[in-house]
Amino acid sequence: MKILVSDKLSEAGVDILKKGGFTVDVKTGLKPEELKAIIGDYDALIVRSATKATADIIEAGRNLKVIGRAGAGVDNIDSAAATKRGIVVMNTPGGNTVTTGEHAIALMMSLTRNIPKADAFMKEGKWEKKALEGREVTGKTLGIIGMGRVGSVVASRALGLKMNVIVYDPFITRELAESQGIELVSLDDIYARSDYITVHTPKTKETTGLIGKEAFSKMKKGVFIINCARGGIIDEAALVEALDAGIVAGAAIDVFVKEPPEDWTLAKHPKVVATPHLGASTLEAQENVALAIAEQVVDYLKNGVIRNAVNAPSVSPEMLPKVRPYIELAEKMGMFMGQIIGQVISDRLKKVSIVYTGAASGVDTKPVTVSAIKGLLGAIADEVNYVNAPALLKERGIDLVESSTSKEEVYTNTIEMTLEFDKGTRSLTGSVFGKNDLRIVRIDKYSIEVIPEGYMLVIYNKDLPGTVGKFGTILGEAGINIARLFLGRDRQEGTAIVIINVDTEVPKKVLDKLRKVPNALSVQEVVI
């Protein structure tokens, strides 16, 4: 069998592949058309972030069995296209965690003590001591948005620097935060109290532009901003305005919307320390992820062992046909729920309960539950896969409760997922109608039959005449085609839910128009 390594990989990783008895070709810098022309000859493809494994390239890979990503993020791999072809997509979560966290601390210190400017002056032969007065971080408040693995590394290092650490993350419990010596607060508290703010969330619809004009208006004057997560979480234009206005004293940015930037205004700003996406660029990190992905690919090709797969839970081949529909339904339910509750919520998630009824209780529910948790956490963390999802839930102090009953109620089979927060609960019920017919049949108190796929608008509104028609009119005027429409009602309260499947992504300005419709209570877009 043949393996193609299309991005730079540590020699130690390449050696593991060769010792596994495989033919290994290292061809970096390939253009998309060049990769497409040769990929059909290979059984495995190993990439980092440069190669884009698009649907076209995956389709051309007629012999591909596995795509390995030496790193956590797989946004450069079309996992859906790989899944359709039965190709396993693996990543190496955790390999870059320490490195990225340390880079955020390094940027914070560089920014605070004007180290890049001082070095530049010295190389010009200038002794500019007075102009480069810095600050101490001891006793200052660091606000961390997102307390995943990288955020946890940053918090521990900041505590060692004697900083006060406050955190916003709706997916960890207050008890867990307090056990680590940090304070769990609201997003507005982060803005109001922090001397430094660092971002460690994935880039989702909810977090894109999370820190923009409104957020900057709530911050302490003289705050420092750090972003080693994803470009676009911070509105770059709004950050430049805040820097110019003196609201933000300085920013340290490792990631940009476009890389390399098309507009260099932010990177070249005199109050900015900029690095070219170096968060994962250390010798140790690259060695770690290279060794890990090489071992995983060899183990899969030789022994059929799947580790750290982002698109394939571990199920025996003979049981897969029976379990697969439930696995797919559960993951879609998790994705739906994760996007509905969103990143920016004030309530803390405490418990996830999953109940299987009827025929759903008769299958191996372990991989089904894992799929549901992966879908849910995928909305708030980059490093989630079928292997680590339960552990990540536990790390965040969230309880998981499963139960089954063979008793059938309205449907012959159901999976019910309930999320319990500090205040209130949210629930979702799904059912397998047929092998390729998966439905969401209840959302909280609303009975409804929804096909969970593609671009979906989830609209809550007052149940009054003409309301749904106004939504349709706005979409039609924007040239957005409605594929399906589903309705659920609560006659007692006079409210309704409308789920609209559309053919294309809905622009933000159209979503804003929908939200302004009289009787609209909330409008969200969910992508599955």
| 277 given a catalytic annotation | yes
First to last CA, the chain: 34
Task: Note whether 186 and 200 are same-domain residues.
Answer: yes
**Residue 141, helix vs strand vs coil:** strand
Distance CA 174, CA 44 (A): 44
User: In the numeric block, which tokens belong to residue 325?
Assistant: 């529909």
Structure confidence at residue 342 (pLDDT): 64
Distance CA 145, CA 296 (A): 32
Task: Note whether 105 and 222 are same-domain residues.
Answer: yes
Question: What number is the average pLDDT over the span 387-409?
Answer: 86
Distance CA 518, CA 499 (A): 18
Question: What number is the average pLDDT over the span 426-447?
Answer: 93
Cβ atoms 311, 64 nearer than 8 A: no
Q: What is the CATH number of the domain that holds 42?
A: 3.40.50.720
Residue 76 vs residues 27, 43, 130, 278, 504: alpha-carbon distances, Å: 17, 19, 46, 17, 20
Distance CA 153, CA 95 (A): 13
The answer to the question of residue 406 being in a domain is: yes
Task: Note whether 439 and 489 are same-domain residues.
Answer: no
Question: What number is the average pLDDT over the span 184-202?
Answer: 95
Question: Which residues constitute the domain of residue 430?
Answer: 313-444
State pLDDT tens for residues 147-173. 988 999 999 999 999 999 999 998 888
Question: What number is the average pLDDT over the span 461-484?
Answer: 95
Task: Note whether 247 and 105 are same-domain residues.
Answer: yes
Structure confidence at residue 495 (pLDDT): 95
Task: Note whether 323 and 394 are same-domain residues.
Answer: yes
Task: Note whether 14 and 137 are same-domain residues.
Answer: no
pLDDT class for 314, splitting at 50, 70, 90? low
Distance CA 165, CA 122 (A): 34
Answer yes or no: is pLDDT of 345 > 60: no
Structure confidence at residue 382 (pLDDT): 65
Residue 86 DSSP label:
T
Residue 336 vs residues 26, 250, 387, 498: alpha-carbon distances, Å: 39, 37, 20, 14
Structure confidence at residue 491 (pLDDT): 87
| 259 given a catalytic annotation | yes
Distance CA 293, CA 295 (A): 5
Task: Note whether 307 and 317 are same-domain residues.
Answer: no
Q: How many domains does the chain have?
A: 4
State pLDDT tens for residues 4-60. 999 999 999 999 999 999 999 999 999 999 999 999 999 999 999 889 999 999 999
Question: For residue 501, what are the β-bridge partners?
Answer: 456, 484
* Dihedral of alpha carbons 85, 311, 340, 95, sign: negative
Task: Note whether 228 and 241 are same-domain residues.
Answer: yes
Answer yes or no: is pLDDT of 419 > 80: yes
The answer to the question of residue 324 being in a domain is: yes
**Residue 234, helix vs strand vs coil:** strand
Structure confidence at residue 392 (pLDDT): 84
The one catalytic residue in 48, 230, 348, 439 is 230
Residue 332 vs residues 194, 303, 327, 429: alpha-carbon distances, Å: 37, 29, 9, 11
The answer to the question of residue 141 being in a domain is: yes
Task: Note whether 470 and 528 are same-domain residues.
Answer: yes
The answer to the question of residue 449 being in a domain is: no
pLDDT class for 141, splitting at 50, 70, 90? very high
C-alpha closest to that of 33 among 50, 55, 67, 56: 56
Alpha helices, DSSP H, located in 198-282: 213-217, 236-245
Mean pLDDT, the chain, as a whole number?
A: 92
State pLDDT tens for residues 64-108. 999 999 988 788 999 888 877 879 999 998 788 899 999 999 999
C-alpha closest to that of 224 among 212, 216, 235: 216
Task: Note whether 46 and 167 are same-domain residues.
Answer: no
Domain stops at, among 403, 421, 444? 444
pLDDT class for 175, splitting at 50, 70, 90? confident
| 402 given a catalytic annotation | no
pLDDT class for 304, splitting at 50, 70, 90? confident
Q: What is the CATH number of the domain that holds 431?
A: 3.30.1330.90
The one catalytic residue in 113, 135, 193, 277 is 277
Structure confidence at residue 234 (pLDDT): 97
User: Lowest-pLDDT range, 310-314, 391-395, 431-435?
Assistant: 310-314
The answer to the question of residue 86 being in a domain is: yes
Domain stops at, among 444, 469, 495? 444
Q: What is the CATH number of the domain that holds 496?
A: 3.30.70.260
Structure confidence at residue 378 (pLDDT): 84
The answer to the question of residue 380 being in a domain is: yes
Task: Note whether 104 and 172 are same-domain residues.
Answer: yes
Answer yes or no: is pLDDT of 316 > 70: no
The answer to the question of residue 60 being in a domain is: yes
Structure confidence at residue 307 (pLDDT): 84
pLDDT class for 346, splitting at 50, 70, 90? low
The one catalytic residue in 128, 136, 214, 259 is 259
Query: Whole-prediction pTM value?
Result: 0.75
Task: Note whether 42 and 132 are same-domain residues.
Answer: no
